[in-house]
């Protein structure tokens, strides 16, 4: 058996070691020398010495085996043990009998014995003898362990580890025969003594790690089976084994057995107690660190590129934990602390390995716990079935079929394990390695996908971590994390009910992140889907809340149905408990709505608009399930704050910065090299930041208004309903004012008003008056403030007021909403818009918008008849005063007329003023009722007269000419209405008439100080002005005179005509460059003709042939007018004739102006043909004829038998008799036409006095 040569160094070591085995203490150099020179044949003469050496080795082995027998240790068999012993195995009875003797033997011999066996082990190359030695060595080591001699045991194990697989510097490990046998012995001891190894595990595991690497290099891989391993070994080139007994195939067998034993060792770790299991795991951690340390190379095979990296320690940690899941709580921190270090290793491949192992363990742990719960549930059901019917069944901690678990507030004793499992992910995500973070999220996704229903109490941790990922806004990680959120959303029932709030806030965080727009939009969709889920599972939610005492962390104002706060009580009634559960469910709704509210101010228009639409749609769909108290929060913490948030963001984001982006990759036109940098086309209504925020504001306001409309009965029943309504109207004011002032889109303001109109129209019958009043007040303030500034959006204001008029039309008679103040407000606002300075059309006429607004103003008056009778006069007066406030005021001061406080403050352009005057006339004649006409006639007429008098100080004739037209239009109807008004006293009417007469005189007969001649330098303008004056004179003659209520008024009006006649006499006899006043011959002639007609009583004659449009007058009144007109006519004619003769004489050879000549001729001819009524003639003669001769008059008998005095023979020519003197003076006139008329008149006078 000594045919295998021993190495020379081993011989030297054996010489020293075997010397201690001799009885006399002297070495045997001859035997050792022979041992070192042993060959195929024994040297001659030394056989006895070799036998002695073999006997010595056998004796040493027998000594060790004998001590093992004394403690009851079984002799090792060929097959290695397959069960890891928690304690050293022995025959306890035998051990107890011999424990003292064996201890003494071991203590006396363990040092030389171990040294001898170690030395011999290192020099023996004969497998059979080495196996015997190793069996003895194992028996002695087991004996030390049984006797609890730790020092000898650890020394034996240490020596064995050193001899098994030398190395450890990363170099390739060669498996020699003695290495295989020693390692086999070490594995045997590991199975036998693994339960008491303690810290020795670290040394043993270092050897096992090298064994694993060596086996891997030789192709012996665990899990492939023995035959496959042999085939792999046979395929390897050049086996280094030379022992004849092993070359036959035993080596392959042993290698396969070693692999199986190595794998089985860790599988059998379940037999260890908790303490030793932790010790084993800790040792594996130390080994794993050495295997992945940067200071030493990876455990890879021979530099072959195709070999994969080996991480023995990490893999065995996973293996141990997987086989000890039943006591995971004791092992988890130890294992994950090491795996975390591996996951944070500087090398990427190592980090990947660490994360994959971590995820593998977490999934296995969750599945194991799920299996345990299923088994426990099955066992409980079987136990319940075995119980007697009368035996009550104990209440289960949780029902597998329940859709909602009670969460951390439950009574599961190990609920914290789930948190501990997933806390590893939370800690690892805080690292600086991006790939590790990605592995964490991918691993979390795998966990949720495979066993998400088992997460249980760890949901808050998971959701908080995902929320943190969203807040970090790292695009790569956000996508994976959002996949996790979507996976969670697919089965919300797996979440504890108290985690739903956190789920909502987590989804909200993903909506607000800015790294990926699609994720934000999808997050909003998830919130909407959860809203539907809440609606479907409301009863399940109520049941879940009844199982837990949970209150979502949302501020609340009340829980009572009437909106009052209910104090918490130690004991609540069943009804109160149910009410509390309902409130808790409502708070989940509010959390969901709050997330959408936060997203409604996202900088991205797509996100905020989607959030707003989802918010309002969800609330509109599911709002009816909310209790009344929750609606206080909906209104004051959701709807109105949404408007606040959007308003604030829109105000702060006013910018004309374009939002178009360049097309192509990176905004540079793409791979094709779009050098032009083409921009993405965006509609002009939203191509800037400001316009986009206006659109969002519009969406928000219309949505909130729609909610008020949909849930008006609920909101109106709240104690804070009025406050909510006023706040909504305040936002209406803000949106209108902001859009109008900033020249925003007029469609936004119109849409906002339209939303309010729809809201009011839907509930006009239920709308309280304060709410109605708030609509008007808000619009009034907005438009008033907006129109005070230059550059406001007039179209937007017009749209707002148009809708406001539609709102007013919604009110029905008797509803209590037809307040006159509303109409007055609308009139005032339309007026402000129509006459805003920014709307002027450069004097060319009203702008189209102004024309439309004025038409709107007229249309407002259509509603006046529907108002109470007592309010109609005030409405008309206010409307007319509002319009007249824009009429011009002359610079001159008149006693007869003082303008209103508003008149003249905002003088518009002349064309616009003309339009106003036309509207005033149209309203007065066609719409204002008679009783109102009587009350407003004086105000209107005086206002128009003031506008007329601006003729004398204004160079623009368009205004006063239009005023004259309006005055003529309203004169007749207004005077008739005033006369018919029984509420006015006669004295009051008389004063009004006198004021009107004074005003007309100031217009037609201004003084020299009141006239600006430069206003009439142009002939065409002077002629047009005279035509207007003639129209006013006609109005006096045919409209006002017949309706004047007193003789004083009639006399005043006639004096105006007389003054117009004699005014022509001021024409100078010599031509001047600039006359002081205009010469109005046609006006004078018209007025003179009118006096002749009045005196002759031919203007108001009754019967056929009367001119259409002439006011009818009774005979007595017509005769009275003739009596008043005749004296004035006589005075005018007397003056005309007399002054003509005088001026003609003074002019000498220069002819008088043609107008003077034509006037005197016309007067003479009319006097020639004039015939007065006898009564008028007598009245005239009584006033001017006391000095007349008696021959002029004669008594005449009347038809009724009385007598009357007749002037002259005909009784109708008395006026000629009175003018006899001036006619005689005119005989010397150079005007032949005048002399002809005088000759005829003198003949008539002669006939009247009886001379012809």
Q: Identify the DSSP state of 1207.
A: E
Q: Identify the DSSP state of 260.
A: H
Residues 6+ apart with CB under 8 A from 1031: 964, 965, 968
Q: How many CB atoms lie within 10 A of CB 741?
A: 18
Distance, in Å, from the CA atom of 421 to the CA atom of 858, rounded to the nearest integer, reads 79
The band of 10, judged by pLDDT with boundaries at 50, 70 and 90, is very low
Q: What is the pLDDT of residues 479-489, one digit of tens each?
A: 999 999 999 98
Identify the bridge partners of residue 203 per DSSP, sorted by sequence position.
none
Residues belonging to the chain: 1252
CB 921 within 8 A of CB 937: no
CA 1124 to each of CA 32, 1098, 1212: distance values in angstroms, whole numbers, following the listed order: 177, 14, 16
pLDDT at 439 over 50: yes
CB 84 within 8 A of CB 272: yes
Distance, in Å, from the CA atom of 678 to the CA atom of 821, rounded to the nearest integer, reads 56
Q: What is the pLDDT of residues 45-88, one digit of tens each?
A: 445 566 777 777 888 888 888 888 888 888 766 554 578 888 88
Q: Identify the DSSP state of 1196.
A: E
More confident residue, 111 or 815: 111
Distance, in Å, from the CA atom of 899 to the CA atom of 425, rounded to the nearest integer, reads 85
Least confident among 340-349, 1064-1073, 1088-1097: 1064-1073
Q: Number of C-alpha atoms within 13 angstroms, CB side, residue 805? A: 21
Task: Give the distance from CA 801 to its chain's centroid.
Answer: 27
Backbone angles phi, psi at 1106, to 5 degrees: -75, 135
pLDDT at 38 over 60: no
pLDDT at 905 over 60: no
Residue 574: predicted pLDDT: 55
Residue at token pair 């949901």: 459
Residue 1060: predicted pLDDT: 87
Least confident among 26-30, 381-385, 956-960: 26-30
Least confident among 97-106, 587-596, 802-811, 1124-1133: 802-811
Least confident among 133-137, 948-952, 1243-1247: 948-952
Backbone angles phi, psi at 658, to 5 degrees: -70, 150
Distance, in Å, from the CA atom of 588 to the CA atom of 810, rounded to the nearest integer, reads 39
Paired tokens of 1024: 């047009």
Distance, in Å, from the CA atom of 615 to the CA atom of 534, rounded to the nearest integer, reads 14
pLDDT at 478 over 80: yes
pLDDT at 25 over 70: no
Rounded to a whole number of angstroms, the distance between the first and last alpha carbons of the chain is 201
pLDDT at 23 over 50: no
Distance, in Å, from the CA atom of 843 to the CA atom of 848, rounded to the nearest integer, reads 13
Distance, in Å, from the CA atom of 559 to the CA atom of 937, rounded to the nearest integer, reads 63
Class of residue 9 by CB neighbours under 10 A (exposed 0-12, middle 13-18, buried 19+): exposed
CA 56 to each of CA 18, 50, 771: distance values in angstroms, whole numbers, following the listed order: 9, 10, 117
Paired tokens of 1207: 């002037």
Residues 6+ apart with CB under 8 A from 1103: none
pLDDT at 405 over 90: no
CB 623 within 8 A of CB 639: no
pLDDT at 707 over 90: yes
Query: Which element (helix H / strand E) includes 281?
Result: helix 274-291
Average pLDDT of the segment spanning 830-840? 69
Residue 744: predicted pLDDT: 55
Q: Identify the DSSP state of 1036.
A: I
Q: What is the pLDDT of residues 729-769, one digit of tens each?
A: 998 888 888 777 665 566 777 888 888 889 988 888 888 88
Residue 79: predicted pLDDT: 55
Please work out, in degrees rounded to the nearest 5, the angle formed at the alpha carbon of residue 1000 by the alpha carbons of 1107 and 1137: 75
- DSSP assignment of 385-446 equals HHS-TTSPPPPPS--TT-SS--GGGS--TTTHHHHHHHHHHHHHTTSS-HHHHHHHHHHHHH
Residue at token pair 């007055």: 824
Q: What is the pLDDT of residues 193-232, one digit of tens each?
A: 888 888 888 888 888 888 888 888 888 876 544 444 333 3
Residue at token pair 């438009």: 783
Mean pLDDT computed over every residue of the chain: 77
Distance, in Å, from the CA atom of 248 to the CA atom of 458, rounded to the nearest integer, reads 58
Residue 555: predicted pLDDT: 44
Residues 6+ apart with CB under 8 A from 1088: 1061, 1129, 1132, 1159, 1162, 1163, 1166
Q: What is the pLDDT of residues 280-304, one digit of tens each?
A: 888 888 887 776 664 444 443 333 3
CB 534 within 8 A of CB 589: yes
CA 943 to each of CA 84, 980, 981, 1011, 1030: distance values in angstroms, whole numbers, following the listed order: 119, 22, 21, 20, 20
% of the chain with per-residue pLDDT over 70: 74
Distance, in Å, from the CA atom of 1134 to the CA atom of 1139, rounded to the nearest integer, reads 8
Average pLDDT of the segment spanning 683-692? 68
Distance, in Å, from the CA atom of 438 to the CA atom of 425, rounded to the nearest integer, reads 11
CA dihedral 805, 806, 807, 813 (to 10 degrees): 90
The band of 615, judged by pLDDT with boundaries at 50, 70 and 90, is very high
Does this model's pTM top 0.75? no
Residue 281: predicted pLDDT: 87
Average pLDDT of the segment spanning 1153-1176? 88
pLDDT at 527 over 90: yes
Q: What is the pLDDT of residues 1208-1241, one digit of tens each?
A: 888 888 888 888 888 888 888 888 898 899 899 9
Q: Which of 753, 724, 723, 760 is nearest to 736 (CA)?
A: 753
Least confident among 331-335, 845-849, 884-888, 1206-1210: 845-849
The band of 170, judged by pLDDT with boundaries at 50, 70 and 90, is low
Q: What is the pLDDT of residues 1032-1047, one digit of tens each?
A: 999 998 888 888 888 8
CA dihedral 684, 687, 692, 695 (to 10 degrees): 10
CB 748 within 8 A of CB 735: yes
Q: At what angle do helices 348-386 and 416-428 cross, to 10 degrees?
A: 170
Residues 6+ apart with CB under 8 A from 124: 6, 57, 130, 133, 178
Identify the bridge partners of residue 310 per DSSP, sorted by sequence position.
299
Residues 6+ apart with CB under 8 A from 871: 820
CA 647 to each of CA 126, 448, 524, 616, 727: distance values in angstroms, whole numbers, following the listed order: 95, 41, 21, 17, 13
More confident residue, 58 or 503: 503
């Amino acid at each position: 058996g000594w045919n295998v040569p021993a190495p020379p160094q081993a011989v030297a070591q054996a010489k020293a070691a075997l010397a201690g085995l001799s009885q006399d203490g002297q070495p045997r150099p001859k035997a050792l020398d022979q041992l070192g020179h042993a060959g195929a044949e024994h040297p001659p003469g030394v056989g006895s010495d070799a036998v002695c050496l073999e006997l010595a080795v056998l004796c040493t082995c027998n000594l060790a085996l004998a001590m093992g027998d004394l403690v009851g240790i079984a002799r090792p068999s060929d097959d290695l043990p397959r069960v890891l012993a928690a304690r050293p195995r022995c025959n306890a009875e035998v051990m107890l009998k011999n424990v003292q003797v064996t201890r003494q033997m071991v203590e006396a011999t363990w040092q030389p014995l171990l040294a001898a066996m170690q030395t011999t082990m290192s020099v023996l190359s004969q497998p059979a003898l080495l196996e015997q030695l190793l069996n003895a060595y194992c028996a002695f080591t087991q004996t030390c362990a049984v006797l609890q001699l730790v020092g000898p045991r650890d020394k034996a194990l240490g020596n064995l580890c050193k001899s098994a697989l030398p190395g450890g510097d990363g170099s390739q490990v060669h498996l020699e025969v003695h290495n295989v046998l020693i390692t086999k012995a070490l594995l045997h001891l590991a199975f036998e003594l693994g339960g008491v190894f303690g810290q020795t595990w670290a040394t043993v595991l270092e050897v096992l790690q090298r064994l694993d690497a060596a086996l891997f290099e030789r192709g012996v891989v665990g899990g492939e089976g023995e035959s496959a391993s042999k085939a792999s070994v046979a395929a390897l080139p050049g086996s280094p084994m030379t022992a004849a007994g092993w070359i036959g195939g035993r080596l392959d067998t042993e290698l396969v057995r070693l692999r199986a034993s190595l794998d089985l060792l860790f599988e059998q770790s379940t037999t260890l107690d908790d303490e030793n299991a932790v010790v084993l795991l800790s040792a594996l951690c130390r080994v794993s660190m050495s295997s992945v340390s940067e200071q030493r190379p990876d455990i890879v095979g021979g530099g072959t590129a195709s070999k994969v990296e080996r991480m023995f320690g990490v893999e065995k940690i996973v293996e141990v934990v997987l086989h000890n899941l039943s006591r995971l709580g004791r092992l988890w921190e130890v294992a994950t602390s090491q795996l975390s270090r591996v996951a944070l290793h500087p090398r990427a491949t190592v980090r990947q390995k660490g994360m994959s192992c971590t995820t593998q363990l977490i999934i296995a742990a969750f599945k194991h716990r799920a299996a345990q719960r299923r088994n426990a549930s099955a066992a409980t059901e079987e136990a319940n079935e075995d119980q007697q019917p009368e035996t009550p069944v104990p209440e289960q901690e949780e029902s597998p079929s329940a859709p909602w678990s009670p969460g951390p507030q439950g009574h599961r004793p190990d609920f914290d394990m789930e948190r501990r499992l997933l806390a590893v992910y939370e800690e690892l995500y805080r690292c600086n390695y991006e790939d590790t973070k990605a592995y964490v999220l991918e691993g979390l996704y795998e966990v949720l996908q495979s066993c998400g229903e088992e997460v249980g109490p760890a949901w808050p941790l998971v959701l908080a971590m995902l929320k943190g990922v969203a807040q970090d806004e790292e695009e790569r990680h956000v996508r994976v994390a959002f996949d996790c959120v979507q996976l969670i959303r697919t089965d919300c029932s797996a979440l504890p009910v108290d985690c739903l709030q956190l789920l909502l806030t987590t989804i909200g965080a993903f909506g607000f992140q800015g790294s990926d727009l699609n994720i934000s939009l999808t997050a909003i969709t998830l919130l909407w889907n959860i809203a539907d889920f809440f609606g479907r599972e409301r009863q399940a939610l109520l049941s879940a809340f009844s199982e837990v005492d949970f209150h979502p962390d949302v501020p609340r104002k009340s829980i009572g149905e009437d909106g009052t706060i209910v104090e918490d009580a130690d004991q609540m009634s069943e009804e109160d408990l149910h009410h509390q559960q309902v409130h808790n469910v409502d708070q989940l709704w509010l959390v969901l709505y709050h997330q959408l509210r936060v997203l409604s101010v996202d900088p991205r228009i797509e996100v905020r608009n989607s959030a707003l639409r989802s918010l309002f749609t969800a609330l509109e769909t599911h709002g009816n399930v909310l209790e009344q108290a929750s609606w206080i929060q909906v209104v004051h913490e959701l709807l109105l704050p949404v408007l606040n948030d959007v308003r604030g963001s829109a105000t702060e984001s006013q910018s004309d910065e374009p939002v178009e982006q360049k097309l192509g990759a990176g905004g540079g036109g793409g791979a094709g090299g779009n050098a032009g940098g083409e921009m993405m086309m965006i509609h002009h209504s939203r191509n800037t930041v400001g316009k986009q925020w206006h659109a969002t504001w519009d969406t928000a306001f219309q949505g909130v208004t729609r909610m008020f409309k949909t849930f008006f009965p609920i909101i109106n029943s709240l104690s804070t309903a009025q406050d909510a309504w006023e706040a909504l109207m305040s936002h209406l004011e803000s949106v209108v004012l902001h859009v109008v002032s900033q020249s925003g889109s007029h469609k936004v303001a119109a849409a906002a008003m339209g939303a309010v109109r729809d809201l009011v129209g839907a509930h006009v019958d239920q709308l309280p008056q304060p709410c109605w009043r708030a609509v008007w007040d808000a619009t009034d303030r907005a438009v008033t403030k907006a129109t005070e500034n230059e550059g406001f959006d007039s179209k937007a204001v017009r749209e707002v007021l148009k809708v406001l008029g539609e709102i007013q039309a919604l009110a029905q008679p008797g509803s209590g909403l037809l307040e006159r103040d509303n109409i007055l407000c609308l009139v005032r606002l339309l007026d402000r818009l129509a006459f805003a300075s920014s709307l002027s059309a450069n004097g060319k006429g009203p702008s189209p918008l102004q024309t439309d607004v004025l038409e709107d103003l007229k249309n407002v008056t259509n509603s006046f008849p529907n108002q109470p009778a007592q309010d109609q006069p005030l409405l008309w007066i206010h409307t007319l005063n509002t319009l007249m406030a824009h009429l011009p005021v002359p610079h001159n001061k008149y006693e007869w007329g003082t303008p209103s406080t508003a008149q003249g403050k905002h003088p518009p352009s002349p064309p616009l003023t003309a339009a106003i005057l036309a509207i005033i006339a149209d309203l007065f004649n066609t719409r204002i009722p008679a009783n109102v006409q009587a009350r407003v006639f004086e105000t209107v007429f005086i206002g128009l007269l003031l506008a007329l008098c601006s003729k004398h100080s204004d160079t623009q004739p368009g205004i006063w000419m239009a005023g004259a037209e309006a005055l003529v239009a309203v004169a007749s109807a207004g005077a008739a209405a005033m006369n018919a008004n029984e509420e006015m006293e006669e004295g009051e009417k008389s004063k009004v008439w006198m004021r009107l007469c004074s005003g007309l005189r100031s217009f037609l007969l201004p003084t020299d100080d009141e006239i600006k001649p430069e206003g009439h330098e142009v002939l065409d303008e002077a002629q047009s002005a005279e035509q207007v004056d003639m129209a006013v004179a006609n109005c006096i003659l045919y409209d006002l005179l017949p309706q004047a209520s007193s003789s004083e008024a009639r006399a005043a009006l006639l004096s105006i005509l007389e003054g117009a006649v004699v005014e022509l006499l001021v024409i100078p006899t010599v031509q001047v460059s600039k006359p002081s006043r205009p010469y109005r011959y046609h006006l004078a002639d018209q007025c003179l003709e009118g006096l002749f007609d009045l005196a002759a009583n031919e203007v108001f004659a009754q019967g056929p042939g009367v001119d259409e449009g002439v006011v009818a007058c009774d005979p007595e009144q017509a005769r009275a007018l003739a009596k008043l007109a005749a004296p004035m006519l006589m005075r005018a004619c007397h003056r005309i004739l007399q002054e003509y003769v005088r001026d003609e004489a003074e002019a000498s050879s220069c002819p008088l102006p043609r107008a003077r000549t034509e006037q005197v001729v016309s007067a003479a001819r009319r006097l020639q043909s004039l015939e007065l009524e006898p009564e008028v003639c007598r009245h005239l003669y009584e006033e001017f004829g006391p000095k007349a001769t008696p021959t002029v008059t004669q008594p005449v008998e009347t038809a009724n038998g009385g007598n009357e005095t007749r002037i002259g023979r005909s009784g109708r020519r008395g006026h000629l008799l009175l003018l006899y003197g001036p006619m005689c003076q005119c005989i010397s006139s150079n005007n032949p036409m005048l002399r002809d008329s005088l000759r005829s008149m003198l003949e008539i006078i002669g006939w009247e006095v009886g001379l012809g």
